[in-house]
């Protein structure tokens, strides 16, 4: 005679599944960024893969490898290039530390004579150093596991593309939502990803290009370098590229180059900062828009969790959470409405 009945055995099995699932998720916490990146890459490049295999009749293996190579060149190589540029610039100041001291002294003199704040730079450096001391370990920690994350991401992406139809059918089958809501969730997921990655990416490239152009126009050094830095800083909410053109303007003024200093400040404040609103309006009409609050909170969440990739992954993760809540709310309302109808029929 069995100790447990059928329902009890099912409940015990469910508990075992939940415990094992939690253990697996805990073990995978170190590659959480890779898993989220895989979802992003799959969402972005799925239309390309479908077009290559269905419309152009490409071999699915060739199409998959082609997408992996192109995405590697588009996303991974720029981050690697930025790292080399930053390391080279840091090495330059290490080789000639006097240059940095001269700049700092001139800025201190400028603030002392113009704004009667002779210690402003020193105070700002202390605050920045304190903040960077908290922030950089998270970024470095994320960079240390970046290579493993990239390998895992492309490994998963390869097999997801090869069997994408079966993969999507299984997702819908085991989804906690009804099929209609699951498909709606997939569409919303696509638009959210496009808005975060493509939308913010376009804004960042335009702002970085304008900063680079402004440096060229006003004769400031290292225009290309600071333009590239501005592209990545533009993912930071509220401040963004201002972290480049405001210090550049202050340094130019401190060096007595008033034309370049005032020019780059006006260029940045009037053009670079405001082009953000224009592009967001156009993107919102065609792709979708993400509220700045979501971006701010997402970055705060993302950088400690995913390192520098948290600039993108953090806002996306928060957007996915809000999207899931919305779908759950829709499903719950539909379920309540169905229960009311059934109870009315029984009466």
CA distances from 163 to 56, 154, 170 (A): 18, 14, 11
Closest CA to 65 of 49, 54, 80: 49
Task: Give the per-residue pLDDT at 11.
Answer: 79
> Greater confidence, 285 or 183?
183
Task: Give the per-residue pLDDT at 61.
Answer: 92
* Alpha-carbon span 217 to 269, nearest angstrom: 16
CA distances from 45 to 38, 67, 156, 183 (A): 10, 7, 14, 18
Mean pLDDT across 324-332: 78
Mean pLDDT across 146-150: 78
Task: Give the per-residue pLDDT at 19.
Answer: 92
Say what the pTM is: 0.71
Closest CA to 275 of 193, 211, 196, 195: 211
Say yes or no to pLDDT of 40 above 80. yes
Least confident of 219-223, 242-246, 313-317: 313-317
CA 328 to the chain's CA centroid: 25
Reduced to 3 states (helix: H, G, I; strand: E, B; else coil), residue 217 is helix
Q: Transcribe 94-150 into DSSP letters.
A: HH-HHHHHHHHHHHHHHHHHHSS-TTHHHHHHHHHHHHHHHHHHHHHHHHHTHHHHH
Mean pLDDT of the chain: 77
Task: Give the per-residue pLDDT at 346.
Answer: 59
CA angle 235, 239, 243 (to 5 degrees): 95
pLDDT confidence bin for 215, thresholds 50/70/90? very high
Say yes or no to pLDDT of 235 above 70. yes
Mean pLDDT across 265-276: 87
Give the CA dihedral 264, 265, 269, 272, nearest 10 degrees: 20
Mean pLDDT across 1-21: 77
Say yes or no to pLDDT of 123 above 70. no
Task: Give the per-residue pLDDT at 96.
Answer: 66
* Alpha-carbon span 263 to 254, nearest angstrom: 14
Closest CA to 206 of 147, 276, 159: 276
Say yes or no to pLDDT of 182 above 70. yes
CA angle 289, 291, 296 (to 5 degrees): 130
Least confident of 14-28, 69-83, 88-102: 88-102
Say yes or no to pLDDT of 98 above 90. no
Look up tokens 């719950």; give the residue.
Answer: 332
CA distances from 114 to 125, 130, 289 (A): 19, 27, 42
Task: Give the per-residue pLDDT at 74.
Answer: 84
Closest CA to 290 of 263, 310, 262, 318: 318
pLDDT per residue over 153-177, tens digit each?
899 999 999 988 888 888 888 777 7
Closest CA to 79 of 146, 164, 134: 146
* Alpha-carbon span 311 to 200, nearest angstrom: 11
Reduced to 3 states (helix: H, G, I; strand: E, B; else coil), residue 4 is coil
pLDDT confidence bin for 233, thresholds 50/70/90? confident
């Amino acid at each position: 005679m069995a100790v447990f009945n059928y329902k009890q055995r099912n409940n015990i099995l469910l508990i075992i599944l939940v415990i094992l699932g939690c253990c697996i998720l805990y073990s995978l916490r170190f590659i959480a960024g890779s898993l989220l990146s895989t979802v992003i890459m799959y969402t972005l490049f799925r239309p390309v893969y479908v077009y290559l295999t269905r419309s152009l009749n490409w071999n699915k293996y060739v199409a998959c490898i082609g997408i992996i190579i192109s995405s590697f060149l588009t996303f991974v190589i720029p981050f690697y290039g930025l790292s080399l540029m930053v390391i080279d610039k840091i090495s330059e100041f290490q080789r000639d530390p006097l240059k940095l001291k001269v700049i700092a002294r001139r800025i201190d003199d400028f603030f002392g004579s113009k704004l009667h704040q002779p210690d402003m730079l020193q105070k700002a450096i202390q605050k920045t150093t304190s903040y960077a001391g908290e922030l950089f370990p998270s970024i470095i920690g994320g960079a240390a596991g970046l290579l493993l994350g990239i390998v895992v991401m492309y490994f998963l992406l390869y097999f997801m593309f090869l069997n994408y139809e079966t993969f999507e059918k299984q997702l819908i089958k085991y989804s906690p939502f009804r099929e209609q809501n699951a498909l709606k969730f997939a569409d919303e997921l696509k638009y959210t990803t496009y808005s975060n990655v493509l939308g913010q990416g376009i804004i960042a490239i335009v702002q970085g290009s304008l900063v680079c152009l402004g440096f060229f126009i006003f004769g400031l050094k290292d225009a290309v370098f600071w333009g590239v830095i501005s592209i990545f800083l533009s993912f930071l909410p509220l401040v963004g590229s201002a972290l480049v053109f405001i210090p550049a303007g202050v340094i130019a003024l401190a060096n007595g180059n008033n034309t370049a200093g005032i020019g780059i400040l006006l260029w940045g404040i009037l053009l670079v900062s405001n082009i953000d609103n224009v592009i967001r309006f156009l993107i919102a009409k065609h792709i979708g828009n993400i509220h700045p609050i979501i971006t701010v909170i997402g970055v705060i969440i993302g950088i400690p969790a995913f390192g520098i990739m948290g600039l993108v992954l953090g806002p996306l993760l928060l957007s996915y959470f809000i999207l899931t809540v919305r779908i759950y709310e829709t499903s719950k309302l539909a379920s309540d409405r169905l229960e009311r109808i059934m109870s009315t029929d029984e009466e």
